Chain A
Amino acid sequence: MSEISGLYALWYREFKIFTREISRVVSSLVQPLMWLVIFGTGLGSALGENFIGTGASYSTYIFPGIMVMTVLFGSLFFGLYIIMDKRVDFLKEVLVAPLSRTTIFFGKVLGGSTDGAIEICLLLILGVLFFGIHLTLLSLAETIVIIALLMISIVSLGLIFGALMTSQEGFGLVVTFVIFPLFFLSGALFPVKSLPTWLYAFVAINPVSYTVDALRAVMLGIPASFGLPVDFAVMIGFALAMVLIGSWAFRRMKF
């Protein structure tokens, strides 16, 4: 029973803080908008209104990929920030409480996913208004499931790094060697079909590619390159693996 109220406590904490840092929400939308407006329009103007015969403009084509990018940056950093927590504030109090580490881990995942979900909803509204995104009830539901799976995976991944790292010096390394490769190798900005084999191999082993692929299929109606069943299998597998490794990393985390 206290595990459930503990889970609620952890979520409540993250949510309270989130509502008090609205400026963070706004700034989290600036980067994706720059990609969509500047990069999308800039490159899109050279590529024409009908990008590689998909019927979508380039800005619309990369919209799902930019959503994924927003999750990647937001959620991974959310997880990494427990390094700061470890030092000065609340985490110690949480770790001393009679709660299992698994509960603490899930509380964090839940809190981080809620924050991310709100950001993504805002981005989605902007997409419908300005970037040619058309959603039906079904495709909205599918989008939510896909984004939720990604968020759980990436918050967990961030928490894994956060639990294993002891100082914030590793932040830059994680950005360079984790976030950027996951993003650039996901096909967020280009179609993956006609890539050279060596590059395609990297894209194919990147689990995030399958999220982008599925998202593009359900949001834009562009046929999935890997096939939707494969996409979902990879997404679910990735989320499960991250959650398992994450709760393990939390159990052995020192503080």
Chain B
Amino acid sequence: MAIIETHDLTKKFDKLTAVDRLNLSINEGEIFGLLGPNGAGKTTTLSMLATLLPPTDGNAAVAGFDVRRDAAKVRRNIGFVFQDPSSDDMLTGRENLYLHALMYGVDMRNINEKMDAVLRLVDLTDKQHQRMKGYSGGMRRRLELARGLLHEPRVLFLDEPTLGLDPQTRQHLWKYIKKLSTEKKVTIIITTHYMEEADMLCDRVAIIDHGKIAALDTPQKLKSMLGGDVVKLMVKDPKLAAVKKLKYVKDLKHEDGVVTMTMFDSNKHLQEVLKKVGDVESVETRKPTLNDVFLHFTGNEMRDSDDASEGGWSERMMHSSVENR
């Protein structure tokens, strides 16, 4: 059953169309990833689904409620963990949870048990009475995850949940996110531009570019769509024309003596390619990653953004307003 459904969802900022007639259907209980380069429209999409931004056109339903007409009901059914910190430094972790419960109208009769439970879930029980000023980035994010769950939402939005965290912390956080998904059965929508994160976590991913869906499927299927293995050769003077004629070679690219291509059954075909291409210095073959998929769909050119903002700290300081985006 779809818990989120969008129909031609569109958001325009002046002349820029940030989200362009997006049609999405997200199933209850899945971890769904929104991938895309900076400025592709991920955060804008999330903001519309969370009723933080009104759509310019089209509509969206979350947990059965229209984001425009029933914003308050949508909000009660969703949790949101922001890219940047949104908890109060001067308060303790537990106090931040308590405030959240009050504001979301959580039944206060067994609030202590509820807070204990979410704190246990993210392993912060022993830090709960410490002011958040002293929390590390990872602890803060974990507390915010716990907070997002306190009112038992049906959908949890995570906007770049591991941005700016070190690899160890990131891996821990993935563990917690997985745990939420299995133990709480909550639907999780995650935006990220860490491909390995999406690969690890998501049941399905949508790659978004220029406000449109470029591809949508399970990470497995997306990777197999690329058509086999990625082969990388270091060649002085590659004879590309000869290689190009081979039927099984796809996505042939050449740059500074490095030739990349994808092919099925590379162990069978590689021999023939090596014979034709010229003096090969080194060979590397590997299974495609989501990163390859991403680059395949979004191209190689760098985005320097109208949106240098989607990057955490600078965004916080420079663009306080989502609307400014």
- Residues in B neighbouring A97, C-beta threshold 8 A: 75, 100, 103-104
Binds A, one of B215-223, B235-243, B313-321: B313-321
Asked if B10 is an interface residue, CB under 8 A from chain A, the answer is no
Checking B72, B88, B317, B324 against A90 with a beta-carbon cut-off of 8 angstroms, the contacting residue is B88
Is the pair A96, B84 in contact by a Cβ cutoff of 8 Å? Answer: no
Q: Write 16 A-B pairs (CB below 8 A) sorted by A numbering.
A: A1-B105, A2-B103, A2-B105, A6-B103, A8-B102, A9-B103, A87-B317, A89-B86, A92-B84, A93-B86, A96-B52, A96-B80, A97-B100, A98-B72, A98-B73, A166-B320
- Taking Cβ atoms with an 8 Å cutoff, the residues of A that contact B are 1-2, 5-6, 8-10, 12-13, 16-17, 20-21, 83, 86-90, 92-99, 166-167, 254-255
Is the pair B76, A89 in contact by a Cβ cutoff of 8 Å? Answer: no
Interface centre among A5, A8, A98 (most CB of B within 10 A): A98
Is the pair B103, A16 in contact by a Cβ cutoff of 8 Å? Answer: no
B282-325 contacts to A, CB under 8 A, are: 316-317, 320-324
Binds A, one of B25-33, B89-97, B119-127, B205-213: B89-97
- Residues in B neighbouring A99, C-beta threshold 8 A: 103
**How far apart are the CA atoms of A89 and B105 in the complex, in Å?**
21
**How far apart are the CA atoms of A216 and B85 in the complex, in Å?**
46
Checking B75, B89, B321 against A255 with a beta-carbon cut-off of 8 angstroms, the contacting residue is B321
Is the pair B102, A6 in contact by a Cβ cutoff of 8 Å? Answer: yes
Q: Please name 11 further chain A to chain B contacts, defined as beta carbons within 8 Å, in addition to the given A2-B103, A2-B105, A254-B321, sorted by A numbering.
A: A86-B320, A87-B316, A88-B85, A89-B86, A89-B88, A93-B100, A96-B75, A98-B73, A99-B103, A166-B321, A254-B324
Q: Give min CB distance, B96 to chain A, whole Å.
A: 8
Checking A17, A21, A93, A255 against B87 with a beta-carbon cut-off of 8 angstroms, the contacting residue is A93
Asked if B165 is an interface residue, CB under 8 A from chain A, the answer is no
- Residues in B neighbouring A93, C-beta threshold 8 A: 82, 86-87, 100, 103, 147
CB nearest to B88 among chain A residues: A90
Known contacts A1-B105, A12-B102, A96-B50; is A255 also within 8 Å of B320 by CB? yes
Checking A9, A86, A254 against B102 with a beta-carbon cut-off of 8 angstroms, the contacting residue is A9
Known contacts A20-B90, A88-B84, A88-B85; is A5 also within 8 Å of B316 by CB? no
Q: Give min CB distance, A102 to chain B, whole Å.
A: 13
CB nearest to B315 among chain A residues: A87
Is the pair B320, A89 in contact by a Cβ cutoff of 8 Å? Answer: no
- Residues in B neighbouring A88, C-beta threshold 8 A: 84-85, 316
Interface centre among A9, A21, A166 (most CB of B within 10 A): A9
Checking A10, A17, A83, A167 against B90 with a beta-carbon cut-off of 8 angstroms, the contacting residue is A17
